Amino acid sequence: MPTITKPTTKTRKDLTSLSDVTTAELQGWLDLALKLKAEKKAGKAHSHLAGKNLAMIFQKSSTRTRVSFEIAMRQLGGGALFLSNNDMQLGRGETISDTAQVLSRYCDGIMARVFAHSDITTLAKYASVPVINGLSDYSHPCQAVADYQTILEHKKKLKGLTLAYVGDGNNVAHSLLFGGAKLGVSVTIVCPQGYEPQKSVVDQCVVDGKETGARVLVSNDTAAVKGADVIYTDVWASMGQEKEHAERLRIFKDYQINAGLMAKTGKKDALFMHCLPAHRGEEVTDEVVDSPNSVVFDEAENRLHAQKAILVSLMGR
């Protein structure tokens, strides 16, 4: 029997988490995202990824991630292939390592939206093409890149700002922490006891923040949002946590983003952000989502441009 070998050694990096990205790389993506967005608005066509194709693996359903990546590839001159759980055998009949190697023979990059972060790291280990984390239970890096692009557009700077994330210390919170520490944005996580972000994430961001001046704070008291330039929240029960929904409503009820909590910042121009979809009436009120301070739809739009910057950087010639 012939020995089956791994494909050609990978020469380009992956995006599994912002913890692995340098400050220069992250800032470069923001600059490129702003440039590509401005050029698109001006009617300039791009062919950076002409002839290239992205495999898009979805264990979880999606609106923004699927549409933004598919349109991003199209606007860059390439193509995208949607693969749901019904279309493939990822982690079931076929191993993730085999899936990674097969897709590497067909496509120029792999984006995956999964439940377990280990699926992302295994894909990255065995794929010979770049792997991009479209979401895992640990990290949501593309969302955070779009978030910081949005803040930069509205505040005209990042370094020295403070972002307060109120809610579950989840994958979105982790990525905001990693990104803020590298960009000089202080991040405060405000959450109920027992729902804090992973200690290892906080510890790493404290170290990274010493290089950029970013501070990290984790608190169970909503008064900690005082002085924040940005208030950010996410759903209280993520996909896969449906059985916990009623209990989480009870536990998180005092952490709802409403006019009273926004006022606690002491800043009339504090931005409101949400990665969407929003459960209006739960983690945030209509009054806040639809207010002039809300930039949630700018944020959603920027998923497209941030991901174009990431795709060009990782898959471009």
Catalytic residue among 64, 117, 140, 274: 140
Q: Are 109 and 81 in contact (CB under 8 A)?
A: no
How close are the terminal C-alpha atoms of the chain, in Å? 37
Copy the structure tokens of residue 219.
């608190």
Q: Say whether 234 is catalytic.
A: yes
198 part of the active site: no
Cα–Cα dist 183/197, whole Å:
19
Active-site entry in 59, 75, 101, 143: 143
Q: Is 317 a catalytic residue?
A: no
Q: Give me the catalytic one of 107, 191, 205, 275.
A: 275
Per the annotation, the verdict on 303 as an active-site residue is yes
Catalytic residue among 113, 117, 174, 305: 113
d(CA 119, CA 140): 14
User: Of 119, 147, 208, 234, which residue is the catalytic one?
Assistant: 234
Q: Is 205 a catalytic residue?
A: no
Q: What is the rounded distance in angstroms from the CA atom of residue 205 to the CA atom of residue 182?
A: 8
Active site residues: 113, 140, 143, 234, 275, 303
